[in-house]
Structures are given as C-alpha cells and as structure tokens.
Amino acid sequence: MNETLQRYALAVLAHAALLLAWYLFVKLGNVPTFVMPSPGATLDALLQPNYDWWANMLVTGTEIFAGYLLALVAGVGLALAFTWSKPLESFCMPLLVSLNMIPKVALGPLIIVWFKYGVFPNSIMAFSICVFPILLTTARGLREIEPELLDLVRSLKGSRWQLFSKVQLPGALPYIFSGMKVAAILAVAGAVVGEFLGSDKGLGYLMLQVQVTLDTPAMFMAVLLITLIGMLLYGMVLALERWLVVQDARLD
C-alpha cells in the first residue's frame, strides 16, 4: 500500500514539476504571451464568456465518445462474427487490412461532402480512425486459443457456445482492452481533426477561431481541455479493464 501511495505521489510530483518548468520558462525567459502564455494566463482564458467553453467541450466530448462507442460495437461485433464464420473472415479480413492502410485523416473532406459538417460527421471521423485497432486486436484475441484447451473442451463434447463463452471470450478480453486503449487515444485525434476540417462548434473549431486573433492562452486552454476529455475516456477504459480482467491476464 505504501508503495502505491509513493507511486501516486511521484506521478503528481512529475506533473507539478512540468507546470513549474513551464511557469519558470515563461517568467524568466520573458516569453511574450502570444508565443507562450503562463499557466496563469492560460487559466484566465476560461473567464472569457464568449468562448463558450462548456458548450464546446460538450460538443467535442460527444463526438469522441459517440465515435468511440460506435467503433467499439462495430469492431467487437465484426470480430465476433468472424469467429463464427471462417469464410466471412477469409473474405473480409484482407479487405479490412487494406482499408486500414487508408490514412483516415484523408477521408475528412469526403466525409464533409457526404455528411455536411457537425457532430455526426466528426463522430464518423473518430469512428473511422479507431475502429480498426479494436477490430484487429479483438479478432487476434479470439484466435489465440491454445489448441490443447480446445482439445480439453472437445474431449468433454462441449458445445461451440461453451467454448466461446467460457474460454474464448474471456481469453480475448485482454486483447480487446489493449485495442480499446489505443483506440481511445485515436478517437480524440479523429474528432479534433474532423473539427479542424469543417465544423461550427467544438474545441477544435474554437482553436481555429482564436488562432486568427492570436489568443494563444485560449488555444492552450483548448488543447488542455481536449487532453482532459481524452484522459477521462482512457481512465474509464482502464477502470473497466481493472474490473473485468484479472491482473495477471492483462496485456502491457
């Protein structure tokens, strides 16, 4: 217990040290605010009521979480379908590997053509960038079953469903979570890029607006808030993993 406490203390200390270094750099270096604002100036940006921080945060957060949940359902769902039908997997997998090669950011202009701009297309952007890691790791996890464990279940004439529910799916959970963690980071990037390319709301949109007026503190604040949303999502995934996956079985 003492050790965990120490680890948390060190984590807090590291963050505080970065804040201090940032503060000292700006103060001692006399860096102009439009190049790099101090931590205090960044915090002051929150007081600007016309930036509508809360509403913009809600928009970006919605895009991230909607895209992520959609990717989770689609990714895990497809991977499950593949384990039930070998021909389907053989047919779809090579295609999906090719599709995964598309730089998803390059789809941005197309998505805007198809869906206009707003929360929905940006969710699609987040979805398209984070569905593949979830799908590929889940499919891999479901495939990773020791042949002898398969023998054990078959020697008892266990059903396909028993094999799946008792051995395959719980065995794949660590892989699913490893994909979900990668995807959580990508979903944030996807939503923000979507907002850069075309939107009228959200933290990414706000960044473009304040860039024109060189309001760097507001840009810093926007990045900080986007990061916080990402941390919230990542933290939720971690908590879920802790709850569902036995310590020793976790990947990473």
Contact 218, 210 (CB under 8 A): yes
Shortest CB 155 distance to another protein, Å: 5
Residue 223 identity: V
Q: Are 191 and 126 in contact (CB under 8 A)?
A: yes
Q: Are 36 and 51 in contact (CB under 8 A)?
A: no
| Nearest residue (CB) to another protein, 60 versus 178 | 178
Minimum distance from CB of 164 to another protein (Å)?
Answer: 12
Please, which residue, 20 or 246, has the CB nearer to another protein?
246
- 78 within 8 A of 92, measured Cβ to Cβ: yes
Residues engaged in binding another protein (CB under 8 A):
146, 148-149, 151-158, 162, 166-167, 170-171, 173, 245-249
What is each CA distance from 251 to 122, 135, 215, in whole angstroms?
Answer: 30, 16, 42
Cβ 167 to another protein shortest distance, Å: 7
Closer residue to another protein (CB): 180 or 189: 180
Q: CB 237 → another protein: shortest distance, Å?
A: 18
Alpha-carbon distance values, 83 to 56, 162, 165, 167, 169 (Å): 41, 14, 12, 13, 10
Is 39 or 170 the residue whose CB approaches another protein more closely?
170
Q: Shortest approach of another protein to residue 142 CB, angstroms? A: 15
Cβ proximity to another protein: between 43 and 238 the closer is 238
What's the rounded Cα separation, in Å, for the pair 36 and 121?
32
